[in-house]
Amino acid sequence: MSERPADRWLSIGLSVATHLAIAGALIWGYWNYQHPAPKPQQLALEATVVDASSLPPGTLPTSSPASPPQVTAPEPLPEPEPPVPQPPAAQAEQLKAQAAQREQQEQQREAQRAKQAEARARAQSQAEAKPPSRAQAKLAAQAQLKADAKATAAEKAKAEQAQKDKAAREQAAAGAKAAADRKTHEEADRRAREEAERQAREQAEADRQKAQRESDLRARLAAEEHLQAAQASGLLAQYQAQIRARIERAWIRPATAKPGLSCEVRITQVPGGEVVGVKVGTCNGDDSVRQSIETAAYRASPLPLPADPALFDRNLVVTFKPQD
C-alpha cells in the first residue's frame, strides 16, 4: 500500500517535534545543573512556648501579611569527597547513572549538530535565494561555456569513435566477403580441374578401349583370313585327321560296339595339346561305347599340334568314326 503525502509530512512533523522536545529538555536540564536553586537560610531563634489560653484578650497580634524572605548569596559548594568504595549493587547503579549521563550528553551533541545543520541549510537557502552578482554570473557563464565545450568535444569524440568503429566493421565485413568469394572461386576452380581431369581420364579410357577393340577386330580378321587360308590349303583337315587317328589308336573297342559307329566328340585342350575335358555328343553307341571313347581321348593326350599355329583351337569338335 502506497504512503500518502499527508501521512509522510505528518510523520516528518512529529519526528521534528519529538527531537525539539528532547533538545529542549536536555537544555533545561543542563541549565538547572549549571545554575542550582539557592538553599533557604536557616536563622537561629530563641523563644518561649506560651499557651494562648493563658494570655489576656487583645494580647495576641492580628494577622498581617508575611514579609518575603530575604534572599542571600548561595553558599559555596563543599569540595567533593573522595569516592568511597561501594558495594556491587551501588556500582551497578552508578554505572547505570553514568551511562544515562553519557546518553544525555550524546543527545545534547546530536541536538547541537541538528541545530548546526539547520543553520547551514538556512544559510545555503538564503545564499541560493540571493541573486548572484555580476562577477558570479560571469563566472557561471564561463563555467557553462566550458561545460558546453567539454560536452561538445565529448560528443564529437564519441561520433568520431562511432565512425571509426563503423569503418572497422565495414572493412572487416568487406574482408570476410572477399575471403568468402576467394574461397568460392578456389572451390569452383578445383571442381572445374577435377571435372576436366575426370573427363580426360574417361576420354583416354574410351580411346584405349576403342583402340583395343579395333586391334582385337583386326587380329580376329587376320586370324580368320589366315585360318581360311590354312583351311583352303588342307592343313585343318590334316590336323583333324591326326587327332582322330591318335584317339582311334588309344581306343579299346568294347564288345557292344557295332559296325558303322559314328560319334561326335567335343575336346577341350590347353596350349601344348593337353586334354582337360571330353564330352561325347551325338553317338549311335551305348554307354559303354561312349565311356570307351572318352577314355581314349584322355589317353591320346597330349594331342598333336597343327603345322600352322593359327589352326590351334582350345575347343575341338572331332567326329569319331573308326574303321570296321
Domains of the chain: which residue ranges?
Answer: 234-320
Of 123-127, 138-142, 221-225, the one with minimum mean pLDDT is 123-127
Residue pair 236/227 in contact (Cβ under 8 Å)? The answer is: yes
More confident residue, 110 or 70: 110
β-bridge mates for residue 268, sequence order: 277, 315
pTM: 0.33
Average pLDDT, the chain: 80
Q: Which pairs count as long-range contacts for 162-171, CB under 8 Å and 24+ apart, including other chains?
A: none
Residues 6 or more apart in contact with residue 243 via CB below 8 angstroms: 267, 300, 303, 304, 316, 318
Of the pLDDT bands very low, low, confident and very high (cuts 50, 70, 90), residue 82 is: low
73 pLDDT more than 50? no
Backbone angles phi, psi at 58, to 5 degrees: 85, 0
Virtual torsion, Cα 27, 29, 35, 37, nearest 10 deg: 140
Residue 302: asked if its preceding bond is cis (omega within 30°), the reply is yes
Of the pLDDT bands very low, low, confident and very high (cuts 50, 70, 90), residue 204 is: very high
Q: Which of 309, 163, 286, 323 is nearest to 236 (CA)?
A: 309
| DSSP helix/strand/coil, 317 | strand
Q: Which fold has domain 234-320?
A: 3.30.1150
Instruction: For residue 4, count other CB atoms closer than 10 A to its CB.
Output: 9
